Structure 1
Amino acid sequence: MYYAVHLAAECYPIAKVGGLGDVVGALPKYLNEAGISSCVLMPKYNVKYNRDHSTETIYTGTCGNENYWFEYSIQRYSDAPLGFDVFLVDIPPYLFREGVYGYEDDSIRFIYFQQAALDWICSWQTKPSVFHAHDYHAGLVPFMINHCYNFGTLAGIKTVFTIHNGLYSGDFSHALARFFPHFPREANGYLDWDHRINPLATAIKCSNKVTTVSGGYLEELQYQPNPYTWLYKEYAFKSTGIVNGIDAALWNPKTDDYLHTKLKKDFAKFKQANKEALCASVGLDASKPLVVFIGRLNQEKGGEILCEGVGKFMAQTQEMNFFLLGSGDSNLENNLRVLTGFYPQNVANYIGYNEALAHNLYAAADFLLMPSLVEPCGLNQLYALRYGTIPIVRTVGGLKDTVVDFGEEGGYGIRFNQPHAGDVVMSLYRAKELYADKTRLKQVQDKAISLDFSWELAVKKYIYLYEN
């Protein structure tokens, strides 16, 4: 059977909202390649991937007590080779919806998902060695296997809990404990944080090991003010930061089927061909440096200082172009439209998410802007480096761990410290100057594409964690 079972709400390419989906869609594959048999359990959503791929039911069951009862089935794909097995927990009234999150009954949805997954695993003749739970949506698993009577056959299995975003806890009223399998009253303290059931806090308390997706982010959680600072410090003895890898097979400029032009031998020609094609499609001048943003438009990702910083820069000079891809806060979306309206020859936007366009932006751009206020790891900067695009990032979390400023020895990016539009503007001027120095620009690009942020190194650290 499986050595490691991953439980998560997202998994690329099935259902992805953010970086969680990318990680869960890659880590098990590379664990399998390293000899650690791994699979993923996730909810079955009514999403395009599931409509396009057939599944077969391999198990049916029920969960409940005197307070609740539901039926579930476990399904697997018949025609979707992902490099690892994915098992879908199907509870149609609760999970089979077009969205992953954002429903009033999300708490019950994920309580049921975790119960059904564990109920099925109880039927396995050979149990896994490790449960690897990702974010609060699976944060009750370490508690349930050790304290809920129904899952007694799973007690003692080692647990790893990975925090992809440590400020989302999924907390809910203790009244919803009636939808749990029975557990002893004295175990209630593991669930409680600030008089509410808190799956994030529960997982930190109950897991054998806790990981964050970068060392820098773990340090920030432990020492910068947040609702869980004490908790992160208290359990520092079992916590470690492991920087995410990227799927080097998927993000490969030589084989990327999304690209207008794939990389052959000449990297400069590869960049220029993609840049010219992209700029022509939106009416931008390909002779100017191109800066792109790809991500969610919200405060956490620096959406406000993104719009303000680009606006201030454009008011001073139009010697740089921007393509801004994202969605989120409606006011920030409108700000992007306003920027394009003011500077149609310099600023293009795409409101929404488009996977093919994102790949082409990485290939075409000279610089990637990430003005994040919070960034647990960040994958976009790693994708950008793979395509020779220089990241402009704020010195925070995983960005601090993965990007070295080109002003330092061996540097390959541009960093700024303060979450202010003025810092964004100064960084854009540094990018403009670097672009004008073709010799230095090539040195920085050559360094960027030589870096290895593939999963192999991260996988070795996870294996060590599993085995110790």
Structure 2
Amino acid sequence: MRIFHLSAECYPVAKVGGLADVVGALPKYQNLAGMQAAVVMPYYDRKFVRENEFETVFSAATLLGTRRLYFEILKEKTDKLGFELYLVKIPGLIDREEVYSYPDEREQFIAYQLAFLDWISYSQQTPDIIHCHDHHSGLVPFLMQYSKLYTRLARIPTVFTIHNGQYHGAFGWDKLSYLPEIDLSKTGLLDWAGGINPLAAAVKCCWKYTTVSPSYLEELTTNSNGLEYLFYLEHAKGYGIINGIDTEVWDPKTDPMIAENFSVKLPAKGKEANKVALCARFGLSLDKPLVAFIGRLVIEKGADLLAAAMEESFNEHPGQFNFLLLGAGDKDLEQELLQLRDFYPDQFNVFIGYDEALAHLVYAGADFLLMPSRVEPCGLNQMYSMRYGTLPMVRSTGGLKDTVVDFGDEGGYGIRYDNASVEDICGAVSRAIVLYDNNKHLQTLRKIMMALDFSWDRSAKEYINLYESLNPVI
């Protein structure tokens, strides 16, 4: 079975969030299961692209309205990622360094989708499944069905995965001319709330859609930034498949980015060595529980609650725990956290930005990982933390609810709380401090977590079963 994954991100080529981790791992594990999966993404002028060899496998021109755009399809020569990697390059439009935030972002992603469809249509490529990820490729299922230019592709099944339903990629009808000739009687499939909405169009037009956890599938009907009724209507063709993690990249036994490797059999010594390195780097006390946060500093992640929650917890538990933050985002939140560091220099430190190696060290060296998310479709950080023996402290939402069982419940191993609030975060910190003092129990929970299977093997098989249900003759 030949599968093309379409995504704006793919680790290690270009990463902004969890989308990149998923698309960088799922195809590899599908190939290990006997599939023929490939990734097609926009070209970025980044380290991975500059340091690896690519060959041009197709070139042509596409039309973005009246604008004629030359494009190339570049293939990485060695398949070093465990799958075929193709890049869509359009000089002056899709050849830049950053993934998002350009003023012509809509044009970038529309052109990316058109170039992909032109390639597989004109070159007689015939994948068995086209798997689109998030709104950046959300117009593909519609165009395959209702553009005369791509009628040859109409019988190819499409799957659409929603990694974050808060972002739709919507734009005005004034940009309809960017699309090739379409069946104008079907424009209602593009529409939501008076504009062209790629995410909504994909949900309407794909053969099946998936979310990255079962709980998130249900939550979209009540919280999807205006698409709640659509997800209510289309619920029958939705599937919740929990993400996995790449257990080769995220393996404390072999990870080259941490201070000392360790395994589930003897986690304590390795955790201690990594905590020593982490605390030394950030000037924190080794003998106190270390709570960490890794992620984007945005309201969606509950980052606006962190400063107030930590200040209250520091006052409630003076000198009893440390907090370390690795992240970037809202500039006001960054300044608020930096100011808090000045008040509690012995207990709190901040790294503004993102550093992959440091993230690995934090997962390995911290005792607890705090995730107070308002929205968390799946979440990967909690799985990484458990893989490294760090207890997750999570709000009961989305994939956090599906993957973390509170240690107070039967078979539990983490800390869960109901609300994204200062009060609930402080309560979780208090429970973490008490648990840390019971070292024997803590070590038992670490071993339980590290033995859990969050690999992609199971999830990849679920996707394959879904593909086969759409095209049983494969």
Q: TM-score, normalised to structure 2's length?
A: 0.96
Contact 2:131 2:160 in 1 (8 A): yes
Aligned-partner Cα distance in 2 for 1:65–1:162: 26
What secondary structure is seen at the aligned counterpart in 2 of 1:331? Answer: helix
Matched residue, 1:338: 339
Matched residue, 2:282: 282
1:79 positional shift? 5.2
Matched residue, 1:94: 93
1:310 positional shift? 1.0
Matched residue, 2:430: 429
What secondary structure is seen at the aligned counterpart in 2 of 1:300? Answer: helix
2:303 is the counterpart of 1:303: yes
1:398 positional shift? 0.8
Matched residue, 1:165: 164
1:124 positional shift? 3.8
Matched residue, 2:102: 103
Contact 1:53 1:80 in 2 (8 A): no
1:226 positional shift? 4.0
Matched residue, 1:379: 380
Comparing 402-411 and 335-344, the one that deviates more: 335-344
Comparing 310-319 and 358-367, the one that deviates more: 310-319
Matched residue, 1:328: 329
Distance change >3 Å, CA 66–CA 451, structure 1 → 2? closer
Comparing 48-57 and 430-439, the one that deviates more: 48-57
Contact 1:245 1:454 in 2 (8 A): yes
1:223 positional shift? 3.2
The one-letter code of the counterpart of 2:371 is: M
1:177 positional shift? 1.2
2:215 is the counterpart of 1:216: yes
Aligned-partner Cα distance in 2 for 1:434–1:109: 50
Matched residue, 2:175: 176
The one-letter code of the counterpart of 1:171 is: A
Q: How does 1:61-76 map to 2 (within 5 A)?
A: 61-64=60-63, 67-76=66-75
Deviations along 1:123-161, one digit per CA (max 9) or x if unpaired, are 344501110000000000101111111112111100000
Matched residue, 1:417: 418
Contact 2:363 2:385 in 1 (8 A): yes
Matched residue, 2:402: 401
1:308 positional shift? 1.4
Deviations along 1:285-342, one digit per CA (max 9) or x if unpaired, are 1111111100000100001112211111112222101110000000111122112111
What do you get for the CA RMSD once the two structures are aligned? 1.3
Matched residue, 2:472: none
Deviations along 1:401-455, one digit per CA (max 9) or x if unpaired, are 1100000011010011111111111100000000001121112111111100000
Identity %: 48
What secondary structure is seen at the aligned counterpart in 2 of 1:122? Answer: helix
Matched residue, 1:273: 273
What secondary structure is seen at the aligned counterpart in 2 of 1:74? Answer: strand
Matched residue, 2:313: 313
1:54 positional shift? 2.8
Aligned-partner Cα distance in 2 for 1:293–1:201: 32
What secondary structure is seen at the aligned counterpart in 1 of 2:360? Answer: helix
1:53 positional shift? 2.1
Deviations along 1:43-69, one digit per CA (max 9) or x if unpaired, are 001222222223221211111277231
Aligned-partner Cα distance in 1 for 2:344–2:223: 39
Q: How does 1:433-448 map to 2 (within 5 A)?
A: 433-448=434-449
Contact 2:65 2:178 in 1 (8 A): no
Aligned-partner Cα distance in 2 for 1:271–1:126: 49
Q: How does 1:180-191 map to 2 (within 5 A)?
A: 180-191=179-190
Contact 1:145 1:151 in 2 (8 A): yes
Aligned-partner Cα distance in 2 for 1:40–1:6: 5
Deviations along 1:83-128, one digit per CA (max 9) or x if unpaired, are 0011000012111112111112111110100000111111344501
2:259 is the counterpart of 1:260: yes
Aligned-partner Cα distance in 1 for 2:170–2:223: 21
2:128 is the counterpart of 1:129: yes
1:225 positional shift? 7.1
Q: How does 1:109-120 map to 2 (within 5 A)?
A: 109-120=108-119
The one-letter code of the counterpart of 2:370 is: L
Matched residue, 2:236: 237
Deviations along 1:372-392, one digit per CA (max 9) or x if unpaired, are 011000000000000000000
Distance change >3 Å, CA 225–CA 54, structure 1 → 2? closer
Matched residue, 2:368: 367
The one-letter code of the counterpart of 2:77 is: S
Aligned-partner Cα distance in 2 for 1:22–1:110: 20
What secondary structure is seen at the aligned counterpart in 2 of 1:222? Answer: coil
Distance change >3 Å, CA 244–CA 319, structure 1 → 2? same
Aligned-partner Cα distance in 2 for 1:321–1:233: 43
Deviations along 1:348-378, one digit per CA (max 9) or x if unpaired, are 1100000000000000011000010110000
Q: How does 1:132-147 map to 2 (within 5 A)?
A: 132-147=131-146
Matched residue, 2:57: 58
Q: How many residues align?
A: 467
Distance change >3 Å, CA 80–CA 208, structure 1 → 2? closer
Aligned-partner Cα distance in 2 for 1:88–1:271: 39
What secondary structure is seen at the aligned counterpart in 1 of 2:159? Answer: strand
Contact 2:79 2:85 in 1 (8 A): no
Comparing 450-459 and 60-69, the one that deviates more: 60-69
The one-letter code of the counterpart of 1:346 is: Q
